[in-house]
Amino acid sequence: MHAGSCNRSPARRGARCVSGGPLSDVCYTYLKEALLAPLREAGRVDGVLLAMHGSMVTVSEGDPEGDLLACVREIVGPDVPVVMTLDLHAYVTARMVHHATGLVSFTHYPHDDTYTTGERGARLLFDALHGKTKPVIALAKVPLLAAGCKGMTFGDGPMAHLTRRARETEKQPGVLSISCFQIHPNNDQPEMGSGAVVITDDDPELARHTALSFAEECWARRFEFEPEVVSVAEAVTRGRAADGAVLLVDTSDYAGCGAPGDSVALLRELLALCVTERCFTMTVDPTAARI
């Protein structure tokens, strides 16, 4: 669940916002109740599919998705399948694994597979509730916190290799789903780390083994996640020497990751170097904007 606007339709409940700081407890309690109340009122349900991001934190709750899953499980009981879809940058916890029947993440970064992730989650849910499968989940992580710059799932980067192997391994009998997670590194929670969630058909040992092998590959490739970092002056100098349009990206102030977007480091360097080429920069500064 993202916070922000809230869809009040009883059949489809949801809220979303862009990245930012921790959600207030008041807002989280409101959203949580808005989500859980219809489920309580619904009486007996066949299954529950929750579409979450997975990296939200609130002022008092570091694992809101785990909290929601625990509450949903308490309402529907132990036998109703509960599946949650997640972002590839989700913070997956032992509590989530404990309460969920299935956890399925995006397989692409950039995330262009939100729709098909929903389909994968729904398929897992329907197969379980029709008794075709008995999903068991294993989570394995290594203490790897890396910026997203090298986390693309196409090309030759570490996540691309992991993703391709995941799709191959999913063809094995008994393997229902493999989700490789590269944690959103700016969170600060006790179970931080990157790795994989593996779901098998009633084979806990296969799930555990497979999840471990993906976590180990994450660790083996850990240095491949490191982007080349240059100083602002060096970046501007290199940019000026390049042909055509140049994109200078300040990843430490990336608003998509929850940063405020108010850094003037690039702008300052452009001015200091007396750059005369046409430049466009963005800075969040409401006071300056008002003036």
Q: How far is the CB of 193 from Zn ion (least distance, A)?
A: 16
Give the C-alpha separation, 279 to 267, whole Å.
9
Rule CB under 5 A: say whether 269 interacts with Zn ion: no
Radius of gyration of the chain (CA): 21
Rule CB under 5 A: say whether 53 interacts with Zn ion: no
Give the residue with the Cβ less far from Zn ion, 28 or 91.
91
Angle in degrees, CA 189, 265, 257, rounded to 5: 30
Per the CB < 8 A criterion, the answer to whether 124 and 104 are in contact is: yes
Cis-peptide, bond into residue 110, ω within 30° of zero? yes
CA 193 to chain centre: 12
Give the residue with the Cβ less far from Zn ion, 181 or 236.
181
Give the residue with the Cβ less far from Zn ion, 81 or 141.
141
**What strands lie across the sheet with 48-51, from one edge to the other?**
48-51, 82-86, 102-105
Largest Cα span, the chain: 68
- For Zn ion, the binding residues in 88-127 under the rule CB under 5 A are 89
Give the residue with the Cβ less far from Zn ion, 15 or 275.
15
Give the C-alpha separation, 170 to 123, whole Å.
14
Taking CA atoms, 126 is separated from 82, 99, 236, in Å, by 10, 18, 53
Q: How far is the CB of 179 from Zn ion (least distance, A)?
A: 12
Q: How far is the CB of 111 from Zn ion (least distance, A)?
A: 6
Binding segment (CB under 5 A) for Zn ion, from list 80-88, 123-131, 195-203, 212-220: 80-88
Residues that bind Zn ion (rule: CB under 5 A) add up to a total of: 2
| Alpha helical stretches, state H, 44-113 | 64-76, 94-99
Rule CB under 5 A: say whether 253 interacts with Zn ion: no
Site string (152-191) toward Zn ion, x via CB under 5 A: ----------------------------------------
Binding residue for Zn ion, selected from 67, 87, 217, 253, defined by CB under 5 A: 87
Give the residue with the Cβ less far from Zn ion, 2 or 134.
2
Rule CB under 5 A: say whether 141 interacts with Zn ion: no
Give the residue with the Cβ less far from Zn ion, 63 or 269.
63
Q: What residue number has its CB nearest to Zn ion?
A: 89
Binding segment (CB under 5 A) for Zn ion, from list 15-23, 84-92, 113-121, 270-278: 84-92
Question: Three-class SS of residue 39?
Answer: helix
Give the C-alpha separation, 239 to 186, whole Å.
27
Summarize as ranges the residues that interact with Zn ion (CB under 5 A).
Answer: 87, 89
